[in-house]
Amino acid sequence: MRNKELFERAQLTTPGGVNSPVRAFRSVGGTPRFITRAEGPYFWDAEGKRYIDYIGSWGPAIVGHAHPAVVKAVQTAATLGLSFGAPTEGEILMAEEICKLVPSIEQVRLVSSGTEATMSALRLARGATGRDKIIKFEGCYHGHADALLVKAGSGLLTLGNPSSSGVPADFTKHTLVLDYNNAQQLEDTFKAMGDQIACVIVEPVAGNMNLIKATPEFLNTMRRLCTEYGSVLIFDEVMCGFRVALGGAQSLYNIKPDLTALGKVIGGGLPVAAFGGRADLMAHMAPLGGVYQAGTLSGNPVAVAAGLTTLKLIQADGFYTSLSAQTAKLAQGLTQIAQQAGVSFCADSIGGMFGLYFADQVPASYAAMMQTDKDQFNRLFHAMLDGGVYLAPSAFEAGFVSAQHDDAIIAATLDIARTAFAQY
Ligand code: KE4
């Protein structure tokens, strides 16, 4: 009852009772769980029920919730003051760590959200090239900057509202929305207007229309065309950065973007995001150049303490080998259980990210993803929730595993899934 009471009360003062739409359970139905605390792979709701958590705050909790080292770093930083609005050594250490781990990033600017990171990268690409047109892909979500809220995935797709109201047509007339994993269409578009394209922005591993991996051909074509036409290639690694590999998706595909947007993991759960890349591009940023961007809490010392500690922890030997193995175990186990129950279902994973699909094969495009059975997903979601497993509350979101999801946790999850699929 307490969740229900809290949800009713929350709606009196906050639209939909939530501070981010996907949390409202609109896509899956039912009452959102109000979380009181989290530790390792678990979190607890206001009724004291424990869940195995596969959201991990949508990616940040990669080392597990309330990791002692991260909490200690935050506590120590907080005693020294919460925010100064002046440069700190911690921001240098953070920038150096990001540049070390993501070699395509020669210079980086810290911001407070993924939206700020992609919005700033877009403005930089337009400022540096003097061009207006941008290319994004249907089903990819890059935060809620106006120019990008066109057939975005994530919350908007979940709400069945492929583009946001309140965004004037003028703000999106330069945004071309193409099909993810369609290299030929990209080729044709550049042939037609490549000299007008400021940038291409892409999730190299898409996680906002559920999980879809880019094909190497798609990304290599993008890289070649951007180089040929002088357009900026922006990899939005807010979700997949430090999630699929230590060097992000770009290290797996061995492709060097011109700019990268980062977030989530680099804040370890506190508000840190970043954009960065080629030094010649970043030199356009104020106060050096004419592209303006600013932020009161950019590089906040307490948030940087959480992020820096997390970045150190993920560099432990074998961290991603183990994380990838555990995530694959989950995906393969769920697929096996569903197929034994005669349910048309499959799952995929990469690094610490996974996708669940009520379909015969893993979708490779937005159109294929939209063909998956959303109602069947919603049934699974609630059966798992009742059993104590918290999946993303939408058929169009990816799932996340932490370093604390050990064999016992995966086995417990699969036991609950066995019961769930038996009801199909
Ligand atoms: P934020 O502004 O939410 O920090 O980041 C926006 C963003 C940018 N780029 C990518 C690839 C992202 O996945 C996101 C945010 N992801 C969603 C998860 N689907 C955040 C969850 C939410 O909207 O509440």
- CATH code assigned at 13: 3.90.1150.10
pLDDT value, residue 194: 96
Q: Which of 281, 313, 345 is the last residue of a domain?
A: 313
Q: Which of 248, 278, 313 is the last residue of a domain?
A: 313
Q: Whose CA is nearest to atom 8 of ligand 1?
A: 142
Tell me the CA distances in angstroms from 259 to 106, 148, 253, one per residue in order. Answer: 10, 17, 15
pLDDT value, residue 123: 98
pLDDT value, residue 1: 86
Which ligand 1 atom minimizes the distance to the CA of 20? 24
Active-site residue list: 141, 236, 264
pLDDT value, residue 12: 98
Residues 305 and 321 in one domain: no
Give the closest residue to 208 by CA, choosing from 395, 351, 18, 21: 395
pLDDT value, residue 161: 46
- CATH code assigned at 117: 3.40.640.10
Residues 302 and 323 in one domain: no
pLDDT value, residue 152: 53
Q: Which of 292, 313, 334 is the last residue of a domain?
A: 313
pLDDT value, residue 166: 85
3-state SS, the chain, equals CHHHHHHHHHHHHCHHHCCCHHHHCCCCCCCCCCEEEEEECEEEECCCCEEEECCHHHCCCCCCECCHHHHHHHHHHHHCCCCCCCCCHHHHHHHHHHHHHCCCCCEEEEECCHHHHHHHHHHHHHHHHCCCEEEEECCCCCCCCHHHCECCCHHHHHCCCCECCCCCHHHHCCEEEECCCCHHHHHHHHHHHHHHEEEEEECCEECCCCCEECCHHHHHHHHHHHHHHCCEEEEECCCCECCCECCCHHHHHCCCCCEEEECHHHHECECCEEEEECHHHHCCECCCCCECCCCCCCCCHHHHHHHHHHHHHCCCCCHHHHHHHHHHHHHHHHHHHHHHCCCCCEEEEECCEEEEECCCCCCCCHHHHHCCCHHHHHHHHHHHHHHCEECCCCCCCCEECCCCCCHHHHHHHHHHHHHHHHCC
Q: Which residue ranges have their beta carbon within 6 Å of ligand 1? A: 20, 22, 58, 113-115, 118, 141-143, 154-155, 203, 207-208, 236, 238-239, 263, 273, 397
pLDDT by position in tens, the chain (length 424): 899 999 999 999 999 999 999 999 999 999 999 999 999 999 999 999 999 999 999 999 999 999 999 999 999 999 999 999 999 999 999 999 999 999 999 999 999 999 999 999 999 999 999 999 999 999 999 999 999 998 655 545 444 344 888 888 777 888 899 999 999 999 999 999 999 999 999 999 999 999 999 999 999 999 999 999 999 999 999 999 999 999 999 999 999 999 999 999 999 999 999 999 999 999 999 999 999 999 999 999 999 999 999 999 999 999 999 999 999 999 999 999 999 999 999 999 999 999 999 999 999 999 999 999 999 999 999 999 999 999 999 999 999 999 999 999 999 999 999 999 999 8
| Cα 402 to averaged position of ligand 1 atoms, centre (Å) | 18
Residues 411 and 362 in one domain: yes
pLDDT digits (tens, 9 = 90+) for 106-160: 999 999 999 999 999 999 999 999 999 999 999 999 999 999 998 655 545 444 3
**Buried-exposed string 70-86: b where 16+ CB fall within 10 A, e elsewhere:** beebbeebeeeeeeeee
Q: Whose CA is nearest to atom 7 of ligand 1?
A: 143
Residues 250 and 326 in one domain: no
pLDDT value, residue 201: 98
Please give the residue range of the domain that contains residue 36: 2-62+317-421
| Cα 418 to averaged position of ligand 1 atoms, centre (Å) | 31
pLDDT digits (tens, 9 = 90+) for 359-376: 999 999 999 999 999 999
pLDDT value, residue 154: 54
pTM > 0.85: yes
